[in-house]
Amino acid sequence: MDSLMAQRLRNAIERRYDATLNVVRIMRSGTVDSLAEQVNATGAGSASAPVPTSIEAQSRSGIQPEGIQSQSTRSEATRPEPARTQPMDYPASHGQRALWFVHRLAPESAAYNIVFAGVFAGIARESLDSTAMEYALARLAHRQSSLRVTFHAHEDGLIQRISPYIHLPFEVVDGGAWDDARLDAEISAAAHRPFDLERGPLFRVLLARSALPGDVLLFVVHHIVADGASLDVLVEELQEYYAAEQTGRPCALDDEPVFEYPAFVEDEQRLLAEHRGQVMSHYWREALAGPLARLAIPRAARPGDPVDRAPVPPRPPVQTFIGEEVIAKFAPAVSNRVKSFAEERGLTLYTVYLAAFSALLHRYTGEQDIPVGSYTSLRDHAELERAVGYYLNMVVLRADFSDRPSFATLVERMRDRVYDALEHSALPFSFVVEECNPERDPSRSPLTDVVFNWLSPSEFSVLNSFFLGAEDGEAATAPGVLGLRPYPLRRNFARFDLEIAMGETHGETAIYLQYNTAILDRTTVTALAHHFEQLLIAMLDAPAREIRLLSLLAPEEEQTILRHWNDTASDYERHLCLHERIAAQIQRTPDRVAVRALDRTLTYRELGERTARIATALGRLGAGPGTLVGVCTDRSSHLLCALVGILKAGAAYVPLDPDYPKDRLALMMEDSGLGIVLTTDSVVGALPEHGTTTVINLDDESTWPEGVDGTPSLAKATAADPAYVIYTSGSTGRPKGVVITHGNVGALFHWADRAFEPEELAGTLASTSMCFDISVFEFFYPLTMGGTVLIVDNTLVMADLPWADAITLLNTVPSVMSAVLDLPRFPPSIRTVTLVGEPLRRDLAQRIHAHPGVSRVVNLYGPTEDTVFSTQGDTNPDDPFEPTIGRPMFNTRCYVLDDALQPAPVLHVGELYLAGEGVARGYHGRPELTAERFLPEPFVDESIHVGDTRMYKTGDLARYLPDGQLECLGRVDTQVKVHGYRIELGEIEATITQVEGVRQAVVIVREVHGDRRLMGYYAPNSPGDDSVIEARIRAELGHLLPAYMVPSALVAVATFPMTPNGKVDRNRLPEPILDEHATHDMGAKKQGAETLTPTQRKVARVWSEVLEREQDKIGPGDEFYQLGGHSLLLTSVAPKLEALFGKKVAVADLFRFRTIASLAGWLEAEAASADEPTKATAEARSRAQRSRKALLARRRASAGSGAKSK
């Protein structure tokens, strides 16, 4: 028995036995005996009306999209007399006040229109009597006072005005000549036309006479005066009045009592004033305590704008309500399994599906705390079943995944959570929001962005029939003389990021998903419905297993992602070492030029001779397989000879960049245990004290051991032996050495054999520090293909080299490449540009392609731990999207996994893991760290893959695109949480770099007075007025990003401090100078009040009046909500500001400009030029004066009675 059934059963018992039962008790122990005990305990019943042993619910109320029903909160209420001759004013309910505010925020939106369109099935269209329908509407309006309501802002708050008479619009249009598309468009336009809540009426009917599919009758009512069940009542009663008008007979409805909505408002006010209201308030403050996660559902589509490429795109600064919908269905077998699962555990379907949906959101977002909204019905007495009005409330139900629960555990928790919420669900949601006082964000709904509803269509409901996609036929036809069948009207609005309604129809479980198009897209939502079903199946298959360990993917999806896209196995000569590949090329082309450097040019034969002497020298010193030899030389031919010589000796090299600080070099030498270091005259002084380390100066053969000119007798290395150890930065500040074997390099070169033509490698520029692993490709691979390595100190000097026109391949990072393109001359011989190490932007790729000689621009990706490169993506100058990192190389496998190492669906962001033959041995001397970052590969097929079966945890965020390409989306460690919001710092950085005049940007989080704040740093393209650029940045951020993603401070820097490995050193960024008015320190605010400008003082005066606080305690950096304001008070601020400044001020403007300073600045910039106020301004001033007088009167009355002002 779900809550809706329990509600109807409770109401049936109330009508028959005059006994009020507890819905939660019915649901917890809904046996006949327990119900009889509850009825008898109330003292109800008599000898003439004994309590039977079997009780049937007899309610015929319409079903609406609500998840749980509220516990009884009403006391006996009086009904106003229905016959009135003058309009009557009554207070609005809390729910109505909230809807009023949303309407003021977006008056052009139809988000809260309740619509239903039906095609006639019960009568022929030509027999429909339009006059009878108009009279029926008039009688319906006379009966239902909620249809005669308008809403008005009053000094004492929002009031609803019930008029004694109102004409309900009935429009008849001739659509006989329309085709289906035109009919759809006309019906949709009528359905989405907004209401004027002050003018009314708030219910209208449209008849579209059409040949096919038949005449369509459209009902539209605003949510502020009705809910789903109300629409059922209105459709049914309208048909009854229509039948009476046609036949001329009396209508039984005229004799039936009507519950008036103002009585409900009285009950609500009574609840808030009584102890039970305080108990409910305490419950919700506890239940919603702490920061609530704001769910950011990953977006699947690839918008063209570079900023919008982020998986979770920037939110509009102010909430929008434009939406679309998706309808999906679960297979009958799945629905049946859910029913069995629920019955076995005594659960409602609502509880099971809500728990499952929360689990899906957990898996989609990675959040441990999942808050989901759900509607509750406030029709808590039998007399409310047929009432028309807004009898809905919202509750927020949290699901905790921090302890890694199983599905069996989760549903039990959810049941308890639902029952607890049910007991306290009568407290108005807007009141709960005020009590919890969360940080306000104008781009979101308060407390939750996602809503779940369960529809229980045990009886016909016009909304349910449409939502659940009921097919044509008797089951989809509304009762009544018109026999309306649902017309497929699509709703183009959304009240939340995502609202989902589920229910059963024709043996299947249908899912109706309504989503905000500014946040989500059809691809994402369609995939979400699919993954919902897949996860549900997995949870039913293994209810005792941790939810995080269950797959979201269908078997065919898993096969594609894990197998097909990683089908990269390719055979080659795996036994060869790196120096053996070079030796083979020496034999093939001994007289070809191998190396050009500023000191000399070497042929392949000369290279072989020189490296043999170095290898022999090292052999004399005992170097061999497993030995680590340091290299600290200038960028001359000595450098390449030293590296190849070390490899020939069977040893592995450790690069020591002479530009590194001595302390860092000392750490690297100590950690690697170097016994030998090769150096040159020009940099020998850069070496730290080296103790027992043997130093060989390649410029001074007196430092060499004797006998280096003889035939070398060297120990032979194997493919499993180390080739080099490169040190990368460590999170603790201690560098870590990555051990790469000859076999790892062999896998890299096998890929390169297929990826490049020999002509591309003819002149390869080697400009990268030997401490960066991309130098491995620059130094060694051309020597295996007969190319020439062109050694330079810096890429930016290449155009001045005597052999600049010999460069055919340029390999560098995007930031350097951007600077190269700014040079006066770009060598025309460059044919191929490969970029790695940083995100490649489309505009840069297009600039490179624009050079006539360039035929290829390749975007490469790979960490040092996977041997230089892991993926390859060739760019297309005509591609409208940002470049991807392509696909895995040969013998490389790429996995995008979540925190539980489960594969992420296509287009979902996860961490990138790399497996295959390029995976390094590990970190030198760091077994614990190696075990932490190099994990067993869980998806390996040993019958296909050879070699290492470990995978490397990159720490990079990525996602697969539908065609199998990979997008890299920044670092895991750049995701932060500020004030409960999960923020990708790279998204903010990317937005700042799009601003004209900005070259680079970095965003970090700093703690200020215990408050975590975003701090932005930017490097301008050229020196100039920083304030101008900062203003430009702030304007762009305010336009593209929500307020919580805008840095508190912006700092201009000439250059960014860098780590030795060439990354921005975030720890050395300068401390920003903060505006203390933006802190939460009230003392600072009080001081700030003294510095207010005249315009700011006017705004502060309005705030002080509305908030009832001293003006001198309001500073320029204060926000309205932080000072105790709430949404409804903003509706009082707007007319006061209009009166003061002679400008139209919308509630949305007050959301956009949240501080005194920003609001005053906007008002000044947009000030009206006319000297005399307009008529609208005068009216606004009059309204403000009346409001001020009323406010003062209330304060005096409050002071006199000792009441506490709220």
Segment among 80-84, 547-551, 773-777 with least mean pLDDT: 80-84
pLDDT, tens only, 56-107: 222 222 323 334 444 434 334 334 444 567 899 999 999 999 999 999 888 9
Segment among 188-192, 213-217, 513-517, 1178-1182 with least mean pLDDT: 1178-1182
**pTM of this prediction?**
0.79
pLDDT confidence band for 1067 (50 / 70 / 90) = confident
Segment among 125-134, 386-395, 669-678, 1075-1084 with least mean pLDDT: 1075-1084
d(C-alpha 670, C-alpha 691), whole Å? 10
Are 224 and 108 spatial neighbours (Cβ–Cβ below 8 Å)? no
Helix axes of 228-247 and 130-143: crossing angle, nearest 10 degrees: 130
Architecture label for domain 1083-1201: Orthogonal Bundle (1.10)
pLDDT of residue 663: 82
Tokens of 704: 């060499």
Are 908 and 560 spatial neighbours (Cβ–Cβ below 8 Å)? no
Q: What backbone torsions phi and psi does residue 517 show, to the nearest 5 degrees?
A: -70, -15
Residue 517's Cα: distance from chain center in Å? 13
CA separation, residue 573 to residues 578, 644, 650, 719, 1033 (Å): 12, 20, 19, 10, 54
What one-letter code names the amino acid at 451? V
Tokens of 100: 């009023």
How large is the C-alpha radius of gyration of the chain? Answer: 37
DSSP state letters, 562-578:
IIGGG-------TT--H
d(C-alpha 778, C-alpha 306), whole Å? 31
Give alpha helix (H) positions in 449-521: 462-467
pLDDT, tens only, 174-203: 988 899 899 999 999 999 999 999 999 999
pLDDT of residue 982: 62
Q: What mean pLDDT do residues 455-480 have?
A: 55
d(C-alpha 677, C-alpha 695), whole Å? 5
As a whole number, the mean pLDDT across the chain is 83
1171's CB contacts (< 8 A; 6+ apart) are none
Architecture label for domain 979-1074: 2-Layer Sandwich (3.30)
pLDDT of residue 3: 57
**Does residue 584 or residue 735 have the better pLDDT?**
584
pLDDT of residue 870: 97
Name 790's bridge partners: 596, 765
pLDDT confidence band for 35 (50 / 70 / 90) = low
pLDDT confidence band for 996 (50 / 70 / 90) = confident
**Does residue 875 or residue 299 have the better pLDDT?**
875
pLDDT, tens only, 1010-1058: 667 889 999 998 877 777 888 888 878 876 666 667 888 899 998 888 7
Q: What mean pLDDT do residues 1075-1081 have?
A: 39
d(C-alpha 836, C-alpha 384), whole Å? 67
pLDDT, tens only, 1181-1205: 444 344 344 434 433 443 343 333 3
Could you tell me the residue ranges of all domains in the chain? 3-59, 88-261, 979-1074, 1083-1201
pLDDT of residue 76: 40
Segment among 139-148, 491-500, 682-691 with least mean pLDDT: 682-691
pLDDT, tens only, 245-278: 988 899 999 989 999 999 999 999 999 999 999 9
Q: Show the CA angle centred on residue 10, arms to residues 5 and 11, nearest 5°.
A: 100
pLDDT, tens only, 890-938: 999 999 999 999 999 988 889 999 999 999 999 999 999 999 999 999 9
Architecture label for domain 88-261: 2-Layer Sandwich (3.30)
pLDDT confidence band for 763 (50 / 70 / 90) = very high
DSSP state letters, 207-245:
EEE-SSS--EEEEEEEGGG--HHHHHHHHHHHHHHHHHH
Choose from 104-113, 573-582, 1192-1201 the range with maximum mean pLDDT: 573-582
pLDDT of residue 305: 33
d(C-alpha 218, C-alpha 356), whole Å? 35
Q: Which pairs count as long-range contacts for 945-950, CB under 8 Å and 24+ apart, including other chains? A: 945/569, 945/893, 945/916, 946/569, 946/917, 947/574, 947/743, 947/891, 947/916, 947/917, 948/915, 948/916, 948/917, 948/919, 949/915, 950/915, 950/919
Are 852 and 828 spatial neighbours (Cβ–Cβ below 8 Å)? yes
Closest to 767 in 3D by CA, of 729, 732, 793:
793
Which helix (H) or strand (E) covers residue 1152, if one does? helix 1147-1152
3-state secondary structure 959-976: EECCCCCEEEEEEHHHEE
